[in-house]
Amino acid sequence: MFFSENSDSINIKSFDRISFECRVCVSPHIYIIIFPKTREELTPVSAEFNNFIIDDTTSSNLRLIIESINKKPDLVLANKWTSHEKDSLRKYILIFGYGRWKIIKYNSGGVLIEKSEQELKVFSNAFIRTIIEFLPLEKSELKKFLVNLIDEKPDDPFILSKRDDWGTLIKQRAPAWGKRIQLIYRVCLIIEKFKSERKKNKEIRKNLDEGTEKNEIIEKLKSELNKTYGKKCFK
C-alpha cells in the first residue's frame, strides 16, 4: 500500500511507476517499485524455467528481473524466432525506431513480413531490456527513458533474451544503440508535431478562404441591390 499526504491509500504492485515533481530538477523523479517475493513464489515454475535461470549467459541483473516480474516468460515464443530474424529486427529498430511495426515489417526484405505486430513488440521489448541490462551506471537518464519506452500490458507475452541473442558485441554497443533509439524517438515526435501543426494550419487557411469567399459574395449582392434601387441600401 502507498500512503499519500492526505492519508489516502492505493494498491501498487511490482514494476509500478511513481513520479514525484521536484522544485529543483526539470524532469520528475521516477521510481519503479519492486517488492520482494516469498520463498514459495521464488520457486521455479518448471524444470525448463529453472534451467533457463541458471544458464551461464543469463546475468545476475537479469536474474533479479526474472524473480521480480509478475508473469512467466513464454518459452515457446522465445524459441520460435531464428537468429537471422532477431538480427533483422535489431537492424530495423535501429533504422526506423521502436514501435513502428508496420514500417519494420514491410521494409525487412520479407524476413519479418509474416510476423505479427504483437510478436515484433514482444521481441523488441526483450531487445530494449537487454540494452538496459548492459548500460553503465552513468547512463541512468538513458536507462530511465528506455524503461518508459517499453510498451507492455499485463496480459502481453513476455520473453527473456540470452546475451548473444542480439549480437556478441551487445555489451560494448548497448550505450550507442540506446542513444540511437532515443534519438529516433525524439525525431519522430518532432515530425508528428510538424504534421499536426501543418494540418491545423491548413484547416485555418481553409476557413479563412471560405470566410473571404462569403464576404465577396455578400459585397457583390450589396452592390447589385444598390444599383437596382439607385441608392445605398447597404453600407
Q: Where are the alpha helices (DSSP H) in 97-116?
A: 101-106
Burial per residue of 54-87, b for 16 or more beta-carbon CB atoms within 10 angstroms, e otherwise: eeeebeeebeebbebeeeebeeeebeebeeebbe
pLDDT band, residue 99 (cuts 50/70/90) = very high
| Domain range annotation of the chain | 1-37, 71-191
Report the alpha-carbon distance of residue 93 to residue 78 in Å, rounded.
Answer: 18
Single-letter residue type at 58: T
152, three cell numbers: 507492455
Number of neighbours of residue 152 by Cβ within 10 angstroms: 15
Report the alpha-carbon distance of residue 84 to residue 90 in Å, rounded.
Answer: 10
Give backbone dihedrals phi and psi of 33, rounded to 5 degrees, phi first.
-85, 130
Q: Which of 127, 163, 161 is nearest to 146 (CA)?
A: 127
pLDDT, tens digit (0-9, with 9 covering 90-100), for 105-151: 999 889 999 999 999 999 999 999 999 988 988 888 999 899 889 88
More confident position, 183 or 28? 183
pLDDT score for 115: 92
Q: pTM of the prediction? A: 0.60
42, three cell numbers: 521464488
> What percentage of the chain reaches a pLDDT higher than 90?
29
CB 104 within 8 A of CB 112: yes
Residue 3 pairs in a beta bridge with 9
Give backbone dihedrals phi and psi of 32, rounded to 5 degrees, phi first.
-105, 120
pLDDT score for 179: 95
